[in-house]
Amino acid sequence: MIEVVQGGGPIVLGLPHTGTDVPEDIWEKLNETGRALADTDWHIDRLYNGLGHDVTTVRTPIHRYVIDVNRGPDDASLYPGQNTTGLCPLTDFDGEAIYSEGQEPDAAEVARRKEVFHTPYHTALSTELARVKAKHGMAILYDCHSIRSVIPYLFDDTLPDFNIGTNASTSCSLSVERSVTTRCRAAQAYSSVLNGRFKGGWTTRHYGQPTENIHAIQMELAQSTYMDESPPWRWRSDKAERLRPILYKILNDLTDLVHERQIR
């Protein structure tokens, strides 16, 4: 079920939110809002396809409304005091219910989904990080995300184009963080922020252990940079082809850091 493409390079791309598969028994419980699947990281797998030098990718085809693999299994809030969604979301990013009344998953159902969907994703991700680290002496997890640029329920104003998350500079070395932020800040006509509204999800925080030579960084892109932000969520080639070279350079810079032993 988990889609893994093994590469020989030092970078592992996590793709936790591009899937749109919803098992039939769960689909029947979703309401019209839920069935719109509006909070998908639309086209992110396509956006990164072919970028980087021999990268590994780990992707789940399951939609985040089934279970969000970028949340911890204990469902602890990533952003205490702020609006957010949980392990098995009950609302969308606008705060609207996604289940028909009385059809929300109970504790037993959440536990089942963790076993069937959450655990296999992280087993695959941890396996690939270990493989890459064994080959290169270190591994970089680059977690790929996108979100609508305007969502008042989650954040004020308009989101920057590049939202870099390193959990307050703890999930990767400063050289990794500096490499990505420097490239983003140099990208003309794009805005960026480090550890702003999105500081990195559970994946970044859990796997990012720079003292153990595993570095993790999350990139949350504003969807306005490569697509239309309303249904039918259309891919915009004109925008994407301007963005892809920048993403290529980001991944290439990180690869060079590893090969040149410049991570410190």
Look at the chain and count its residues: 264
**214 contact partners, CB below 8 Å, separation of at least 6:** 129, 133, 138, 139, 140, 141, 207, 208
Q: What is the pLDDT of residues 115-133, one digit of tens each?
A: 999 999 999 999 999 999 9
Q: What is the pLDDT of residues 32-78, one digit of tens each?
A: 999 999 999 999 999 999 997 799 999 999 999 999 999 999 998 88
This prediction's pTM: 0.96
Q: What is the pLDDT of residues 206-238, one digit of tens each?
A: 999 999 999 999 999 999 999 999 999 999 999
Give Cα separations from 105 to 13, 94, 97, 114, 207 (angstroms).
Answer: 30, 20, 13, 12, 28
**66 contact partners, CB below 8 Å, separation of at least 6:** 21, 22, 23, 26, 88, 113, 117
**DSSP character for 59?**
E
pLDDT score for 196: 96
Highest mean predicted confidence (pLDDT) among 75-84, 128-137, 255-264: 128-137
Alpha helices by DSSP H, the chain: 24-27, 32-35, 44-48, 107-113, 119-136, 174-186, 202-207, 237-259
Question: Do 204 and 141 touch, CB atoms closer than 8 A?
Answer: yes
For residue 83, pLDDT beyond 90: no
pLDDT category at 22 given cuts 50, 70, 90 is: very high
CB crowding 196-210: b at 16 or more within 10 Å, else e: ebbbbbbbbbbbbeb
Residue 61: cis peptide before it, omega within 30 degrees of 0: no
